[in-house]
Amino acid sequence: MDWTDRYETIAFQRKGRILTATLNLPDALNAVNAKLHSELSRVFVDLNDDPDSDVVVLTGAGRAFCAGGDIGWMQDAIDDPSLFETTAYEAKRIIFSQLDLEKPLICRMNGHAIGLGATIALGCDVVIADERAKIGDPHVSVGLVAGDGGAVLWPQLIGFLRAKEYLLTGDLIPAPEAARMGLINRAVASDRLDADVEALAQRLVSGARKAIRWTKVVSNLALKQVAHGLMDPSIAYESLSNMSQDHREAVAAFREKRPPKFTGL
Query: What are 134-144's pLDDT values in tens digits?
Result: 999 999 999 99
User: Phi then psi for 252, rounded to 5 degrees?
Assistant: -60, -40
Read off the pLDDT of residues 10-34 as tens digits, 9 standing for 90 and up.
999 999 999 999 999 999 999 999 9
Q: Domains (ranges, CATH) in the chain?
A: 3-191 (3.90.226.10)
CA–CA distances in Å: residue 110 to residues 72, 85, 92, 117: 24, 31, 25, 12
CA dist 52 to 16, 56, 125, 255, Å? Answer: 8, 11, 20, 44
1 band by pLDDT with thresholds 50, 70 and 90: confident
pLDDT at 182 exceeding the cut of 90: yes
Strand-pairing partners, residue 21, are: 12, 58
Within 117-252, strands assigned E span: 126-130, 134-136, 173-174, 186-188
Which pLDDT does position 159 carry in this prediction?
Answer: 98
Residue-averaged pLDDT of the chain: 97
